[in-house]
Chains A and B, each alone.
Chain A
Amino acid sequence: MTGDEPQLRVSKIRSGTVIDHVAAGQALNVLAILGIDGSGGESVSVGMNVPSGRIDRKDVVKVEGRELSPAEVDALSLIAPEATINIIRDYEVVHKTRVQRPTAVTGVLECPNHSCITNAGEPVDSEFDVLEEGVRCRYCETILREEIAAQIGT
């Protein structure tokens, strides 16, 4: 296999977003954050465990016809802190940014603590402060570290 040509793995998109340098294994979580499960009809390509100089192995997600909201970028930063986001229009990269860790995320994660008030049917969004490692529920003060991806609400 002459698998070293990236264009063979993941085709170019005309306009939309390329999320690159996602930590290997996190691509499906990226799709979960974006609410993409295939049922919406979006054209999506995913590359997994692609060799990469910067982070050894990486995942890549390309979504046709979609630019990300700031809340989506915040959520992405929690599971893919090294990611770059490329906005594509007419096959050209018109905007390229590294994600930045936000100081807090609202409404994106579900608190894993079943006794937390945010899981009690109250009219309140979950809110997590972002720590150096992991995040912390602003209500019940529970700390989440590696398990963040599992708590992404849909």
Chain B
Amino acid sequence: MRQDDLVSATGLARADVETVLDRAAEIAADPGSWRERHAGALLALCFFEPSTRTRMSFDAAMKRLGGDTVDMGPVESSSVKKGESLADTVQVIEGYADALVLRHPKEGAARMAAGYVDVPLINAGDGAGQHPSQTLLDLYTMREATGLDGVTVGMLGDLKYGRTVHSLAEALTEFDAEMHFVSPESLRLPESVRYDVESAGGAVREHESLGAVLPDLDVLYVTRIQRERFPDESEYRAVAGEFRIDEATLADARDDLTVMHPLPRVDEIDAAVDDTDHARYFRQAHNGVPVRMALLDLLL
């Protein structure tokens, strides 16, 4: 990779993505041979917001490479609580580890922090901003299932606040993917993502319901619509019901449609879909480990 940090999916060129995905495939094919690869290396886990699976996934990835992790612990018990700036915190933690993983509630936190440290820094989510390691595992999963060129991808649900969608849409502009964005009017793609997709030569095709576009899709990427995005319960229920995927919805889909979801899911995909050949979301979650192993291997 050309970069020392992974802050945003916007800066990921096709060649960078392919380098990570190829390395992840090598690792997945023979995980045992990577067990000593980074023996003695330490990764600092700095999560300023609660996260279970992203934190565990990085922890597992580092340990499967023979390294270890040091964890900042919850914010409540740290010096951040006493008012220390993020800039100071990362400069201190940099002295403890060979690389940093950062999740923070403020957008742009990772970009700022990367400017203060010399060790590689990976953005594990900054507010409603970016979550590029999730994007890489999404791309890995998609490449396994359908390839990344000549595919038609639908993204469904909360496209306004869903950072995994923002990063994925921007990354897919590097490939020959036709993108469709399906969401309620109030949760459409934000202007900055629209700008990136369009200035990369892509087209933003928007729909308020899935029906018309579903039969064309190779991949359907589902995201959760959260209750707190709506002023009242009834409005939320109406919208959530309309954007829910079950077996009946998928009757109109192609047989080889791949359904993905960044998880956790609540009820936007009916559990009955899990047993169909469409479901790829658990596999997608498992792919987080080899993809993060590849990322760490390339950055360390």
Contact = CB atoms under 8 A, between A and B. Distances in A.
B87 A124 contact: yes
A143 interface: yes
A5 to B, nearest CB: 46
Contacts of B115: 124
Given A122-B85, A139-B111, A139-B112, A115 B192 contact: no
Contacts of A140: 106-108, 127, 129
B106 A115 contact: yes
B107 A121 contact: no
Given A118-B108, A124-B112, A137-B108, A143 B127 contact: no
Contacts of A113: 107
Nearest to B199: A131
A54 B192 CA distance: 33
Interface residues of A, number: 19
Interface in B176-210: 191-192, 195
3 tightest A-B CB contacts, nearest first: A139-B108, A140-B107, A117-B108
Interface string A120-136: 11111000000100001
Contact of B107 (A122, A141, A143): A141
B107 A123 contact: no
A116 interface: yes
B127 A115 contact: yes
Contacts of A139: 107-108, 111-112
B168 to A, nearest CB: 15
Contacts of B191: 143
Contacts of B87: 122-124
B85 A115 contact: no
A117 B114 CA distance: 13
Q: Which of B108, B127, B128, B191 has the largest count of A CB atoms less than 10 A from its CB?
A: B108
27 contacts: A113-B107, A115-B105, A115-B106, A115-B107, A115-B127, A115-B128, A116-B107, A116-B108, A117-B104, A117-B109, A118-B112, A121-B85, A122-B85, A122-B87, A122-B112, A136-B192, A138-B111, A139-B111, A140-B108, A141-B8, A141-B10, A141-B108, A141-B129, A141-B192, A142-B107, A143-B192, A143-B195
B230 to A, nearest CB: 20
Interface residues of B, number: 21
Nearest to B170: A141
Contacts, number: 59
Contacts of B108: 116-118, 137-141
Q: Which of B87, B106, B126, B192 has the largest count of A CB atoms less than 10 A from its CB?
A: B106
B27 interface: no
Contacts of B109: 117, 120
Nearest to B130: A141
Interface in B58-108: 85-87, 104-108
Given A139-B111, A141-B192, A143-B192, A120 B129 contact: no
A144 to B, nearest CB: 10
Given A136-B195, A140-B129, A143-B192, 11 more contacts: A115-B128, A116-B106, A116-B107, A117-B108, A117-B109, A117-B111, A139-B111, A140-B106, A141-B8, A142-B107, A142-B192
Interface string B149-187: 000000000000000000000000000000000000000
A122 B191 CA distance: 26
A33 B195 CA distance: 28
Given A123-B87, A124-B87, A140-B127, A117 B195 contact: no
Contacts of A120: 86, 106, 109
A57 B191 CA distance: 32
Contacts of A142: 107, 192
Contacts of B128: 115
